Amino acid sequence: MSSIRLEIERAMGLKFPERNGEVIIRFEESMEIPPVAETLMRGLYRDPDRVRQGFKVLHQETGSIIDILMPRRSRLREWADSLPERPREAESFLKDTAEQLLLKEQRLAHAERELVEQLQGSGLDDIYPIPLGAFGICTYRDPAVKIFLKPLGRFSELFQINPDTLRQAVRVHFLFLLLLIAGLDLDGQVYAREGEEKVIHWLTSIYTIRYLRSQSTELIQCYQEWVKAWGGRIPNQSMLNERGCEKTRAAMVFWRRQSNINWEDCWRIINQLEPPDSTNSVVFS
């Protein structure tokens, strides 16, 4: 973790606070499941017990039809080879089994419709967006991060993502987040900035993606899928190139030092130094 921490410090140009030469942040990975992760942990079904019961009923109704069809099939094969000795009995058999099949098919169709409705009401829409707090939390005053491994593992299962790769990407995100809100600036001062959550996570995403691009494509893909899951914004390409990163860092440093100025104003001030055609609009509503 220490090597990643140093790389992240160099990437953002800030340093984690230290005391007696030791970094004083806390970074914890926990197996607990926070309350906001309950929907994610439940999975894609609103009522899994009801869906399970629906499959059970459909299985039973299908079996009851097979129980009628199998002897009917045998009798029909027999009569195809040798005509029935008593036509009236054959007629009665066909009518009775036809009525039974009609009733069973109606029950089967009803059970199937109910199950299909349950399945249609289940899916990713039920769990989106996933609260970011389901994956990890970050405290501002006492710089600390806690990542919840079980919800991350569940997310990996649902989206068929490599869990180790996802955990690595999420660790990087939260380290950048922690550095952004509590890091030492070049002058050795801590400019802690609270509020403007969307700005904080968007800036974190810029630095995380730039860092992960130097690692692997799989890390980038996992990270972007995860960011979209909790409603985060993926920075456009112009914000990820060298010039865009220089402007972002300048605005970020200014924004951290000027707690009375919001991000849009800081960005506008920085852009006043740029030619008109190089200005990118970064507004958070």
The mean per-residue pLDDT over the stretch 259-269 comes to 86
As a whole number of angstroms, the distance between CA 167 and CA 186 comes to 30
The mean per-residue pLDDT over the stretch 221-245 comes to 85
Q: Where are the domains of the chain?
A: 2-42+128-278, 48-122
- Assess contact for 254 and 270: CB atoms under 8 A: yes
- Assess contact for 13 and 191: CB atoms under 8 A: no
Does residue 276 have a pLDDT over 80? no
Does residue 18 have a pLDDT over 50? yes
What's the token pair of residue 180?
A: 């952004």
> Among positive and negative, which fits the CA dihedral 7, 11, 13, 17?
negative
What's the token pair of residue 271?
A: 């852009």
Tens digits of residue pLDDT in 118-129: 787 666 666 678
User: Is the pTM above the cut of 0.75?
Assistant: no
What's the token pair of residue 154?
A: 């569940």
Give the DSSP per-residue string, 62-108: HHHHHHHHHHHHHHHHHHHHS--S-HHHHHHHHHHHHHHHHHHHHHH
Chain centroid to Cα 102, Å, comes to 45
Please, which residues have CB within 8 angstroms of residue 57's CB and are 6 or more apart in sequence? 111, 115
Q: Quick one: what percent of the chain has pLDDT higher than 90?
A: 35
Query: What separation in angstroms does the CA of 12 have from each of 138, 150, 210, 252?
Result: 18, 29, 10, 10
Q: Is the peptide bond before 129 cis (omega within 30 degrees of 0)?
A: yes
- Assess contact for 142 and 166: CB atoms under 8 A: no
Tens digits of residue pLDDT in 47-67: 788 888 999 999 999 999 999
Backbone angles phi, psi at 228, to 5 degrees: -65, -30
Average pLDDT, rounded, for the chain: 84
Tens digits of residue pLDDT in 165-204: 999 999 999 999 988 888 878 767 766 666 678 888 889 9
Residue 285's pLDDT is: 45
Tens digits of residue pLDDT in 25-46: 788 899 999 998 888 887 767 7
Residue 109's pLDDT is: 93
Q: Quick one: what percent of the chain has pLDDT higher than 70?
A: 88
Please, which residues have CB within 8 angstroms of residue 175's CB and are 6 or more apart in sequence? 4, 5, 8, 27, 145
As a whole number of angstroms, the distance between CA 47 and CA 37 comes to 16
Tens digits of residue pLDDT in 61-85: 999 999 999 999 999 999 988 888 8
Please, which residues have CB within 8 angstroms of residue 72's CB and are 6 or more apart in sequence? 93, 97
Does residue 88 have a pLDDT over 60? yes
